[in-house]
Copies of this chain bind each other. A is one copy, B any other.
C-alpha cells in the first residue's frame, strides 16, 4: 500500500521502497501511477483536492478511523497519532506543535503551540531588530545575556515548559514525532522518539479495517 500524510505545507509519501516529501504548492502530476491502493490523511483541503485529481481512487482515512473524544474539532492528524499511542503524551511537531494526552485509550484533551518555523517568522515581523538565527543549544538554566540567546531561550522555554507541565501533571510516558522534533529531544528526560508515527498508525488502522471487511 501507498501512504500519504498531507500537512499544511507538504505531501509526505511512504511506499514500500521510498519515503519522500513534496511541497503542497508543487506540481504532483508527474508522480508515478501506483497500482497498490493509496491511503491518505489530510489537514489541507486544497492539497487533498490536488491528490485526488492525481489519484482519484485514493482512500481518505477520515472515512475509516473511529476515534472517540470529547474534544470538539480534533484534527485528523492528531486522531491518527493518538489512536496509535493509546497511553501517553503525544507531541507532534510540524508547522504547529500539537500536544495530546491519552490515558488507557481515552483522549483527555490537548493544546496547540506554534511550530519552530512559525516562531522563526514572528520575531522579525515584530521588529527587524529581533531577526535571529534559531539555535537549540541554549542552556535553559542560565538567564540570557544577548538578544539572540534571549529569543532562542524564550522560544525553547515557551515550548518545553507547557509540555513538561502536562507531562508532570498526568504522569504519562512522553512521545515525540514530526519533522523537527529532534531539535527539542535534549530538553526532556524519559521521552521516546517515534519516527513516522503517522505512517505506523495509518498501517495499523488500515490492517484492522481490511481484516474487518474480510470478516463481513
Give A residues with C-beta under 8 Å from B. Answer: 8, 43-44, 70-73, 75, 95-96, 99, 101, 108-115, 118-119, 121-123, 125-127, 129-130, 142-147, 150-151, 153-154, 157-159, 161-162, 165-166
Contacts and interface: CB of A to CB of B under 8 A. Distances in A.
B153 A157 contact: no
A129 to B, nearest CB: 7
Given A70-B145, A143-B166, A166-B143, A154 B122 contact: no
A130 B44 CA distance: 12
Nearest to A98: B150
Nearest to A73: B147
18 contacts: A8-B127, A44-B127, A70-B145, A71-B144, A109-B142, A109-B144, A111-B143, A111-B144, A111-B154, A112-B154, A115-B126, A118-B126, A119-B122, A122-B122, A154-B162, A157-B165, A158-B158, A158-B162
Given A111-B151, A113-B154, A157-B161, 20 more contacts: A43-B127, A43-B129, A44-B127, A70-B145, A71-B144, A71-B145, A72-B146, A75-B129, A96-B123, A109-B143, A109-B145, A110-B143, A112-B130, A112-B147, A113-B158, A118-B125, A118-B126, A143-B166, A157-B165, A161-B162
A70 B146 CA distance: 9
Closest 4 CB pairs of A and B: A109-B143, A158-B158, A161-B161, A157-B162
Given A115-B126, A126-B95, A126-B96, A108 B161 contact: no
B166 A71 contact: no
Nearest to A151: B112
Nearest to A132: B112
A101 B161 contact: no
